[in-house]
Amino acid sequence: MTRIGFLGLGRMGSLMAGRLVAAGHEVTVWNRTVHKAAPLVQAGARAAATPAEAVADADVVITMLTGPAAVDAVLFGEHGAAAALGPATTLVEMSTIGPDHVASLHDRLPDVDLADAPVKGSLPAAAAGELAILFGGDSQTLARVREVLEVLGKVQHVGPLGAGAAVKLVVNVALCGSFVLVGEALALGDRLGLSTDTTMTALSGTALGSLVPRVRARLDDPQAPTQFSYGLAAKDLKLAIEAGAPAEGVIAAAHQQFATELPRLSESDIGEIVAVLRRAAAR
């Protein structure tokens, strides 16, 4: 049994923390929206009133938050976790914040055993413990936290500190850009008089084919629960631009497409970009 402080109970975080509780670890959770902790408390977790309280005496602390600003607020804000981290605690940053921000955390937490381990996979993978965990850090740190992380999925040691965050950005910009391309392809098909089914069937035989079932499902049921939010997709594309993606390139163009209907669609699924692009082309 490992004592774990888990900070952030969004769609992914709640499922991940739940798996750690079910695996028998001693988990203390914190979330800005307090009621999200209730199901985990019923399952055996303890809820903390502040981030600092959540990490007190923890062996491992996991942050699973929306982005760099949220991570800074939870670690360094009022009642932040950073001041309460013990010398033997390992902090595993699992949010998508980019390698530059991971480096900033290292600079501000020089005495903390830090690793970055963002995840690849959506809600079903999180619920099943089948996430791909992109671990950046040294081998000694990985050895200390491997048993905990393997409850959540398969660990891939991708390099030194910051490498996990870098790989996650590369993966996410490819995903987000692909959704934009599917949306523009469907919009072009609409303009050329093709049915949605004809265009989607044609796309099934291309490099975008793996997205077709997901887009079809979203078109069939636009009210289905969000798997990966529109707002987080826009945030990740912005992080990629800040990390050095060309200002006039495809990633920047994809970010501009996502930005057009923020914040209205922030909590909608990433697949909503397909409808956004089709509506714009039909005007």
Q: Which residues are catalytic?
A: 168
- Distance, in Å, from the CA atom of 104 to the CA atom of 75, rounded to the nearest integer, reads 12
Q: Which residue spans within the chain are E strands per DSSP?
A: 3-7, 26-30, 46-47, 60-63, 90-93, 113-116, 119-120, 131-136, 153-159
Helix (H, G, I), strand (E, B) or coil at 91: strand
Sign of the torsion angle spanned by Cα atoms 72, 148, 135, 155 = negative
Residue 212, number of CB atoms within 10 A of its CB: 18
Question: How big is the CA angle at 235 (ends 280 and 5), to the nearest 5 degrees?
Answer: 145
Give every CB contact of residue 178 below 8 A, 6+ residues apart in sequence.
Answer: 208, 211
Question: How big is the CA angle at 248 (ends 247 and 251), to the nearest 5 degrees?
Answer: 75
* Phi, psi dihedrals of residue 4, rounded to the nearest 5°: -120, 130
- Distance, in Å, from the CA atom of 14 to the CA atom of 195, rounded to the nearest integer, reads 39
